[in-house]
Amino acid sequence: MNKPLRRVAIFCGLLILALLVRVNWVQFVQADELKNDPHNRRVAIERYSIPRGNIIVDGKPVTGSTTTDSGDFMYKRTYKNGEMWAPVTGYASQAFGANQLEKLNDGILSGSDDSLFFSRTVDMFTGEKRKGGNVVTTLDAKAQKAAFEGLGDKKGAVAAINPETGAILALASTPSYDPSTFAGMSDKDSEAYNALQKKNNPDDPMLNRALRQTYPPGSTFKVVTAAAALENGLYTDIDAKTNSPLPWTLPDTAGVELKNEGSLPSCKNGSLREALRVSCNTVFGKISADLGNKKMMAEAEKFGFNNPKIDTPVRAAESIYPKDNRPQNAMAGIGQASNRATPLQMAMVASAIANGGKLMKPYMVEKLEAPNLNVVQQHTPEKMSEPLTPQNAQKLQDMMETVVTHGTGKRAQISNVTVGGKTGTAQHGENNKDNPYAWFISYAKTAKGTPVAVAVVIEGSDTLRDDIAGGALSAPIAKDVMEAVLEGEK
């Protein structure tokens, strides 16, 4: 071979080598990056080239797919009773992507997940079209319906948990939205999506209030303060007198009295049971002050506060028990000051007490299924922490059951069922000028066990300010949710 021809051959060889290196780099190094690039339209085209798998509740799909004429996309998502289930499903939109379970389980639903490799291989040989798998949830359809209809036109949220497993049974948030209205990519879909954005709708219907919104928990937090008192040995007998003067002055202040809601003479040295029954700010504020910030924070954290990674698998907003000075710590002990919690967090508090002091990790996906219904992933209930000894959990149950039988939570009573609860009316806004939040947390137990714990918060309603109270507004909703779960247990 003469010299010029040899040089051309070497040059061509180098070009082929560079091409091979580049092809392998793209195939094996950049593959995931390109696959997940939101600007890669081919991924979206492939995603919507088949009907998505479904999100399942009680054995029935709450989602579906329909054919579409929107350009390259063959199918788009549909939802059954979308407003009721949106806090669980989230949305999958050709134009606006996906969130919540639709996003977190996109690989299964679109049939592209690595765990479905065998299923895809079989389909390739049999000539079957690729199919999406299913996401089977823990939700209870009747409980969800009771929660959603109970909230009605009020602004608020409900979270219900099976205390024994951590399975989420209801997760409602109002006002809500129908994800079907913007599942496509037409101008009409864009108008629907934009109308739901907070800047265009102050009610923020796309906010998942059950998981992603925190509120001052108000007096429902007093069960955590009572747990801290019992666990730290400040008090051991729930019927013995406490050292609680009336009036009581916040520590390190120039005589600022902590007020109770109304005249509550039994709060003077009132027992823990009596203080929870009538909801004494003075008793629980002083307990928080006596224990101090570190012990209060430690107990709250056992219940899940200050944990930024509570994944259901949708991540919940972090509930906060703050590091604070003495007067603010006393206020945090009654659920005010900088103390904030999601409805899910307060349902976790009730569930831990109802479950003998053991807090189970909350979850709402029972299993993932391949298109042929083979299980590719099964959830196993997992203990998250143990905020209370079984003995102290029993004492708190006794106290919460007194609240429902003889205290502020009577509207949650259910015939022939033991119900424990705690009301809360949380002040907020500058100088507490805004309408308070109405809270109620509860659990129901039968001879078969304790299948449900519930937290309800009403953020806004047409109720007159003086009539807003957790026992009046939220307890009836919690009762309906508990009854729905108990009905399903029969």
Phi, psi of 179 (to 5 degrees): -60, -20
| Residue 219 annotated to the active site | yes
Q: Do 368 and 138 contact (CB within 8 A), yes or no?
A: no
Q: Which residue has the tokens 């066990």?
A: 449
Sequence letter at residue 25: W
Sequence letter at residue 466: D
**How far apart are alpha carbons 156 and 446 in whole angstroms?**
28
Token pair, residue 490, equals 């029969």
- Catalytic residue, from 180, 219, 288, 351: name it: 219
Q: Which residues pair with 454 in a beta bridge?
A: 160, 442
Give the active site residues. 219
